[in-house]
Structure 1
Amino acid sequence: MQTQSKIVDLPEFNVVIFSFLLNFIWEMWQIPFFMAIPNGTHWAGVVACTQATFGDAAISIVAFWCVAAFAKSRRWIIKPSPSQIGSFVMVGVVITIAFEAIATVLLDRWSYSPSMPTLPILGTGLLPVLQWILLPPLTIWFVRRQLT
């Protein structure tokens, strides 16, 4: 039983859990803004959103570790400075813009519906970028509540 309590005390574990939960809701909400998913089966949408959410959780943990490397502490998330919060957000935004470009342009893995607002010049969907501006601070808030 003691091993279990140690796992839940790890900042990384909490980042992954809360990031997964928040991002899954976001992924499901933004389904109408992507092509094919709104016309597919319900299960296909759930599977696609779950896969995307695993990617979101991975981006969150990479962003967490980037900030931890600069902070020289994995516990930075307990009392994050504004620059640490901003760095956490920005790492996610940069990775998201890169992944969206690779997926939509180079690999043609998915495409946006006409209702998806996009960023000028980049063509990246606005909703995936907003996801990485709005959800990381919420993730930090939940993790802090859990660990303190």
Structure 2
Amino acid sequence: MMDVSNSWVRTLRRYIVLILASNLLWEILQLPLYTIWQEGQPSEITFAIFHCTLGDVLIATACIVAALAIFGDTSWPQTRFCPVLLTATVFGVAYTLYSEWVNVHIREAWAYTRLMPTLPLLNAGISPILQWLILPPLCLLLSARGRHAFKRPCHADEERK
């Protein structure tokens, strides 16, 4: 039997490590979609990669903690896994839409190249939106793998009733 009192701590630790590694890779791979790739000096590009990756980790951590505060319980991730996963994902996507809009169109802190596909109306880059639709759920599923991540995790609560 799994020690429920510590499983959420292990899951959260794994999640943060995976979110760090996956976002670092994503930030590197999506660089050609931003003008810094063409216009920036190597030191600026390196700084941007690490700055954005650390920001991603902080955002992902804040989103999962907020989702846990709303929907988690003492036996998470064995129970309430899906509501936490969905809420953290929605929070991450919502923040990203806001951040892309503010930083690209208002502050002009960064810019897209013509290679970046954008969402109509919002003109937000699709790559950062996909980043938050794919990485946090995948990392959370992998983090909770010890109990039920690949055994219909969003139906685990229903099966216990």
Q: TM-score, normalised by structure 2?
A: 0.76
Q: Counterpart in 2 of 1:29? A: 29
> What are the Cα deviations for residues 52-102 of structure 1, in whole angstroms up to 9, with x where unaligned?
011111111111012111124376345554333221111100001111111
Contact 1:93 1:133 in 2 (8 A): yes
**Aligned partner of 1:13: which letter?**
R
Q: Which residue of 2 aligns with 1:64?
A: 64
- Hey, which of these two has a bigger chunk of helix by percent? 1
Name 1:55's counterpart in structure 2: 55
Q: Which runs of no fewer than 5 residues in structure 1 stay unpaired?
A: 1-5
Contact preservation (8 Å) 2:73, 2:79 = no
The residue identity in structure 1 corresponding to 2:25 is: I
**Secondary structure of the structure 1 residue equivalent to 2:144:** helix
Aligned residues: 141
How far apart are the structure 1 equivalents of 2:55 and 2:114?
Answer: 24
Paired with 2:139 and 2:49, the residues of 1 have a C-alpha distance of: 18
Q: How does 1:1-148 map to 2 (within 5 A)?
A: 9-73=9-73, 76-145=76-145
Aligned AA for 1:109?
A
Task: Name the aligned partner's letter for residue 60 of structure 1.
Answer: A
Aligned partner of residue 76 in structure 1, secondary structure = coil
Q: Percent same amino acid among aligned pairs?
A: 25
CA contact (8 A) 1:16 1:58 kept: no
Q: Report the more deviating stretch, 82-91 or 21-30.
A: 82-91
**Structure 1 CA distance for aligned equivalents of residues 22 and 102 of structure 2:** 24
Moved more, 30-39 or 94-103: 30-39
> Post-superposition shift, 1:146?
6.8
State how far apart, in whole Å, the 2-side matches of 1:22 and 1:78 are. Answer: 24
CA distance in 1, matches of 2:145, 2:72: 21
Name the SS of the counterpart of 1:38 in structure 2: helix
TM-score (norm 1): 0.82
SS in 2 for 1:145: coil
Pair 108,75 (structure 1): closer, same or farther in 2 beyond 3 Å:
farther
Amino acid at match of 2:68: A
